Amino acid sequence: MDPRTAADTAAPLEPPGPVVTTAWLAEHLHDPRLVLVDASSVLNRTEEAIPGALLLDLDGPFSDSSADLPHTLPPAEQLSAAARGLGISGTSTVVAYDARGIFASARVWWLLRAAGFDRVAVLDGGLPAWTAEGRPTAAHAAPPAEPGDVELTARPGFFADAEDVARALRDPAATVLDARSAGRFAGTEPEPRPGLRPGHMPGAVNLPYTRLQGPDGRLLPLPELRARLAACAPEGHRLVTTCGSGLTACVLALGAHLTGRDDVRVYDGSWAEWGRPGPRPVVGPDGS
Protein backbone atom coordinates (compact mmCIF):
# COMPACT_ATOMS: atom_id res chain seq x y z
CA MET A 1 0.00 0.00 0.00
CA ASP A 2 1.28 3.47 -0.87
CA PRO A 3 1.99 5.27 2.44
CA ARG A 4 1.45 8.75 1.01
CA THR A 5 -1.48 10.76 2.31
CA ALA A 6 -4.10 12.43 0.15
CA ALA A 7 -2.34 15.74 0.78
CA ASP A 8 0.93 14.26 -0.47
CA THR A 9 -0.59 13.14 -3.76
CA ALA A 10 -2.70 16.26 -4.28
CA ALA A 11 0.40 18.40 -4.73
CA PRO A 12 2.42 17.90 -7.92
CA LEU A 13 5.43 15.60 -7.78
CA GLU A 14 8.31 17.88 -8.61
CA PRO A 15 11.34 16.23 -10.23
CA PRO A 16 14.68 17.55 -8.96
CA GLY A 17 15.56 18.80 -12.44
CA PRO A 18 15.47 17.83 -16.11
CA VAL A 19 17.42 14.65 -15.29
CA VAL A 20 16.57 12.17 -12.53
CA THR A 21 18.66 9.36 -11.09
CA THR A 22 17.74 5.70 -10.86
CA ALA A 23 17.53 6.14 -7.08
CA TRP A 24 14.99 8.97 -7.42
CA LEU A 25 12.92 6.94 -9.85
CA ALA A 26 13.00 3.86 -7.61
CA GLU A 27 11.77 5.97 -4.69
CA HIS A 28 8.84 7.36 -6.70
CA LEU A 29 8.14 4.43 -9.03
CA HIS A 30 4.70 3.67 -7.58
CA ASP A 31 3.61 7.27 -7.10
CA PRO A 32 0.28 7.76 -8.90
CA ARG A 33 1.38 11.19 -10.06
CA LEU A 34 4.23 9.68 -12.10
CA VAL A 35 3.88 8.70 -15.75
CA LEU A 36 6.90 6.64 -16.79
CA VAL A 37 7.49 6.21 -20.52
CA ASP A 38 9.90 4.13 -22.56
CA ALA A 39 10.85 6.31 -25.53
CA SER A 40 13.22 3.82 -27.14
CA SER A 41 13.24 3.88 -30.92
CA VAL A 42 11.87 0.84 -32.73
CA LEU A 43 15.41 -0.38 -33.47
CA ASN A 44 16.44 -0.21 -29.80
CA ARG A 45 13.23 -1.26 -28.06
CA THR A 46 13.30 -4.34 -25.83
CA GLU A 47 10.63 -6.48 -24.20
CA GLU A 48 12.24 -5.69 -20.83
CA ALA A 49 10.90 -2.56 -19.18
CA ILE A 50 11.04 -0.69 -15.91
CA PRO A 51 7.90 -1.69 -13.99
CA GLY A 52 4.94 0.50 -14.90
CA ALA A 53 6.55 1.94 -18.03
CA LEU A 54 4.35 2.72 -21.02
CA LEU A 55 5.64 2.64 -24.58
CA LEU A 56 5.84 6.10 -26.13
CA ASP A 57 6.14 5.85 -29.91
CA LEU A 58 8.10 8.76 -31.32
CA ASP A 59 7.50 7.38 -34.82
CA GLY A 60 3.75 7.12 -34.26
CA PRO A 61 1.33 9.43 -32.43
CA PHE A 62 4.16 11.64 -31.15
CA SER A 63 5.22 12.65 -34.67
CA ASP A 64 3.52 14.41 -37.56
CA SER A 65 2.17 11.65 -39.79
CA SER A 66 1.61 14.15 -42.61
CA ALA A 67 5.29 15.10 -42.78
CA ASP A 68 7.68 13.45 -45.23
CA LEU A 69 10.45 13.47 -42.60
CA PRO A 70 10.91 11.07 -39.68
CA HIS A 71 9.35 11.82 -36.27
CA THR A 72 8.88 15.56 -36.70
CA LEU A 73 6.95 17.82 -34.33
CA PRO A 74 3.19 17.10 -34.51
CA PRO A 75 0.48 19.74 -34.16
CA ALA A 76 -0.35 20.62 -30.55
CA GLU A 77 -3.78 18.99 -30.82
CA GLN A 78 -2.27 15.68 -31.92
CA LEU A 79 0.45 15.88 -29.28
CA SER A 80 -2.17 16.57 -26.60
CA ALA A 81 -4.25 13.57 -27.67
CA ALA A 82 -1.19 11.30 -27.72
CA ALA A 83 -0.14 12.46 -24.26
CA ARG A 84 -3.65 12.02 -22.86
CA GLY A 85 -3.69 8.48 -24.25
CA LEU A 86 -0.76 7.69 -21.95
CA GLY A 87 -2.63 9.08 -18.96
CA ILE A 88 -0.74 12.37 -18.82
CA SER A 89 -2.68 15.09 -17.01
CA GLY A 90 -1.83 18.66 -16.21
CA THR A 91 -0.64 17.60 -12.75
CA SER A 92 1.40 14.59 -13.91
CA THR A 93 5.15 14.23 -13.78
CA VAL A 94 6.62 12.48 -16.82
CA VAL A 95 9.92 10.61 -16.74
CA ALA A 96 11.24 9.29 -20.05
CA TYR A 97 13.90 6.65 -20.46
CA ASP A 98 15.61 4.80 -23.29
CA ALA A 99 17.02 1.32 -23.80
CA ARG A 100 20.28 2.89 -25.06
CA GLY A 101 21.03 5.17 -22.12
CA ILE A 102 20.13 8.68 -23.25
CA PHE A 103 19.27 8.58 -26.93
CA ALA A 104 15.62 9.24 -27.78
CA SER A 105 14.38 10.05 -24.26
CA ALA A 106 15.67 13.62 -24.47
CA ARG A 107 13.33 14.12 -27.42
CA VAL A 108 10.33 13.54 -25.11
CA TRP A 109 11.72 16.13 -22.67
CA TRP A 110 12.13 18.63 -25.50
CA LEU A 111 8.76 17.92 -27.13
CA LEU A 112 6.74 18.36 -23.96
CA ARG A 113 8.58 21.50 -22.91
CA ALA A 114 8.06 22.92 -26.40
CA ALA A 115 4.35 22.31 -25.84
CA GLY A 116 4.20 24.06 -22.47
CA PHE A 117 4.62 21.06 -20.17
CA ASP A 118 7.61 21.50 -17.83
CA ARG A 119 7.20 18.69 -15.30
CA VAL A 120 9.19 16.25 -17.40
CA ALA A 121 12.60 14.65 -16.91
CA VAL A 122 14.97 12.12 -18.44
CA LEU A 123 16.26 9.08 -16.58
CA ASP A 124 20.04 9.35 -16.40
CA GLY A 125 21.57 6.27 -17.97
CA GLY A 126 18.21 4.89 -19.02
CA LEU A 127 17.35 1.21 -18.84
CA PRO A 128 21.00 0.04 -18.89
CA ALA A 129 21.73 2.01 -15.70
CA TRP A 130 18.58 0.63 -14.07
CA THR A 131 19.35 -3.01 -14.86
CA ALA A 132 23.06 -2.66 -14.03
CA GLU A 133 22.01 -1.91 -10.46
CA GLY A 134 19.92 -5.09 -10.29
CA ARG A 135 16.63 -3.22 -10.16
CA PRO A 136 13.43 -5.05 -11.17
CA THR A 137 12.04 -5.18 -14.69
CA ALA A 138 8.71 -6.28 -16.16
CA ALA A 139 6.72 -6.19 -19.37
CA HIS A 140 5.53 -2.80 -20.57
CA ALA A 141 2.31 -1.60 -18.95
CA ALA A 142 -0.90 -1.25 -20.92
CA PRO A 143 -2.17 2.29 -21.56
CA PRO A 144 -4.57 3.41 -18.82
CA ALA A 145 -8.29 2.93 -19.25
CA GLU A 146 -8.90 6.55 -18.28
CA PRO A 147 -7.07 9.10 -20.44
CA GLY A 148 -5.33 12.10 -18.96
CA ASP A 149 -6.54 15.67 -19.31
CA VAL A 150 -3.41 17.55 -20.37
CA GLU A 151 -3.84 20.38 -22.88
CA LEU A 152 -0.65 21.28 -24.69
CA THR A 153 0.03 24.56 -26.46
CA ALA A 154 3.01 25.21 -28.71
CA ARG A 155 5.67 27.53 -27.34
CA PRO A 156 7.81 29.44 -29.84
CA GLY A 157 11.57 29.27 -29.90
CA PHE A 158 12.20 25.56 -29.42
CA PHE A 159 12.55 24.34 -33.00
CA ALA A 160 14.42 25.62 -36.02
CA ASP A 161 13.72 25.07 -39.70
CA ALA A 162 16.21 24.95 -42.55
CA GLU A 163 16.14 28.72 -43.09
CA ASP A 164 16.85 29.30 -39.38
CA VAL A 165 19.83 26.96 -39.70
CA ALA A 166 21.12 28.76 -42.78
CA ARG A 167 20.98 32.07 -40.90
CA ALA A 168 22.74 30.56 -37.88
CA LEU A 169 25.53 29.24 -40.11
CA ARG A 170 26.15 32.80 -41.27
CA ASP A 171 25.92 34.34 -37.80
CA PRO A 172 29.26 34.76 -35.97
CA ALA A 173 27.37 34.75 -32.65
CA ALA A 174 25.73 31.37 -33.33
CA THR A 175 26.95 27.78 -33.51
CA VAL A 176 25.29 24.87 -35.26
CA LEU A 177 26.17 21.71 -33.34
CA ASP A 178 25.85 18.36 -35.12
CA ALA A 179 25.25 15.40 -32.79
CA ARG A 180 26.03 12.68 -35.37
CA SER A 181 29.14 10.53 -35.18
CA ALA A 182 32.44 11.91 -36.45
CA GLY A 183 32.33 9.53 -39.42
CA ARG A 184 28.86 10.60 -40.51
CA PHE A 185 29.79 14.25 -40.03
CA ALA A 186 32.87 13.78 -42.23
CA GLY A 187 30.89 11.74 -44.75
CA THR A 188 33.13 8.69 -44.40
CA GLU A 189 30.41 6.57 -42.78
CA PRO A 190 27.18 5.80 -44.64
CA GLU A 191 23.97 7.50 -43.64
CA PRO A 192 21.33 5.08 -42.30
CA ARG A 193 18.67 6.65 -44.53
CA PRO A 194 19.02 6.08 -48.27
CA GLY A 195 19.35 8.92 -50.72
CA LEU A 196 21.08 11.42 -48.43
CA ARG A 197 24.31 13.15 -49.35
CA PRO A 198 27.30 12.39 -47.10
CA GLY A 199 28.94 15.11 -45.03
CA HIS A 200 27.85 18.14 -43.05
CA MET A 201 26.67 21.72 -43.25
CA PRO A 202 29.48 24.20 -43.98
CA GLY A 203 30.35 25.93 -40.72
CA ALA A 204 28.68 23.36 -38.46
CA VAL A 205 30.66 21.90 -35.56
CA ASN A 206 30.63 18.22 -34.68
CA LEU A 207 29.80 17.25 -31.10
CA PRO A 208 28.63 13.62 -31.08
CA TYR A 209 25.93 13.21 -28.46
CA THR A 210 27.91 10.34 -26.92
CA ARG A 211 30.62 12.86 -25.98
CA LEU A 212 28.27 14.21 -23.31
CA GLN A 213 27.96 10.78 -21.67
CA GLY A 214 30.29 8.54 -19.75
CA PRO A 215 30.94 4.86 -20.50
CA ASP A 216 27.89 3.93 -18.39
CA GLY A 217 25.54 6.04 -20.52
CA ARG A 218 25.00 8.64 -17.82
CA LEU A 219 25.58 12.32 -18.50
CA LEU A 220 28.97 13.70 -17.55
CA PRO A 221 29.30 15.89 -14.43
CA LEU A 222 28.35 19.51 -15.05
CA PRO A 223 31.94 20.88 -15.21
CA GLU A 224 32.78 18.36 -17.94
CA LEU A 225 29.56 19.03 -19.80
CA ARG A 226 30.27 22.74 -19.69
CA ALA A 227 33.83 22.26 -20.92
CA ARG A 228 32.86 20.03 -23.83
CA LEU A 229 30.16 22.42 -24.98
CA ALA A 230 32.40 25.47 -24.58
CA ALA A 231 35.14 23.80 -26.65
CA CYS A 232 32.68 23.65 -29.56
CA ALA A 233 30.57 26.74 -28.97
CA PRO A 234 31.78 29.72 -26.93
CA GLU A 235 29.67 30.79 -23.97
CA GLY A 236 27.12 33.34 -25.10
CA HIS A 237 26.63 31.83 -28.54
CA ARG A 238 23.12 30.89 -29.45
CA LEU A 239 22.92 27.25 -30.43
CA VAL A 240 21.12 25.26 -33.06
CA THR A 241 21.47 21.53 -32.58
CA THR A 242 21.05 18.99 -35.36
CA CYS A 243 21.57 15.27 -35.93
CA GLY A 244 20.23 12.64 -38.29
CA SER A 245 16.52 13.11 -37.64
CA GLY A 246 16.00 15.33 -34.60
CA LEU A 247 16.45 12.78 -31.79
CA THR A 248 20.01 13.07 -30.50
CA ALA A 249 20.03 16.81 -31.26
CA CYS A 250 17.82 16.92 -28.16
CA VAL A 251 20.59 15.28 -26.11
CA LEU A 252 22.83 18.25 -26.96
CA ALA A 253 19.96 20.61 -26.09
CA LEU A 254 19.59 18.83 -22.75
CA GLY A 255 23.29 19.16 -22.01
CA ALA A 256 23.22 22.84 -22.93
CA HIS A 257 20.19 23.44 -20.70
CA LEU A 258 21.88 21.74 -17.76
CA THR A 259 24.84 24.11 -18.09
CA GLY A 260 22.61 27.18 -18.17
CA ARG A 261 22.63 27.73 -21.93
CA ASP A 262 18.99 28.24 -22.87
CA ASP A 263 19.34 30.05 -26.21
CA VAL A 264 18.98 26.74 -28.02
CA ARG A 265 16.84 25.47 -30.87
CA VAL A 266 16.61 21.97 -32.30
CA TYR A 267 16.60 21.61 -36.08
CA ASP A 268 13.67 19.27 -36.48
CA GLY A 269 14.41 18.20 -40.06
CA SER A 270 18.11 17.66 -39.32
CA TRP A 271 20.18 15.71 -41.86
CA ALA A 272 17.10 13.82 -43.06
CA GLU A 273 16.07 17.13 -44.63
CA TRP A 274 19.31 19.06 -45.19
CA GLY A 275 21.14 16.06 -46.67
CA ARG A 276 18.61 15.45 -49.41
CA PRO A 277 19.75 16.13 -52.97
CA GLY A 278 19.15 19.81 -53.63
CA PRO A 279 20.55 23.31 -53.23
CA ARG A 280 21.49 23.15 -49.53
CA PRO A 281 25.30 23.32 -49.31
CA VAL A 282 27.12 20.24 -48.01
CA VAL A 283 30.80 19.65 -47.19
CA GLY A 284 31.45 16.13 -48.39
CA PRO A 285 34.17 13.59 -47.59
CA ASP A 286 36.59 15.26 -50.01
CA GLY A 287 36.23 18.55 -48.12
CA SER A 288 34.23 20.28 -50.83
Backbone angles phi, psi at 36, to 5 degrees: -100, 130
Rounded-to-integer distance, Cα 12 and Cα 233, Å: 36
- Is 250 designated active site? no
- CA–CA–CA angle 86, 90, 94 (5° rounding): 50
Query: 122 has which bridge partners?
Result: 19, 96
Q: Which of 79, 204, 212, 243 is catalytic?
A: 243
Active-site residues, by number, are 243
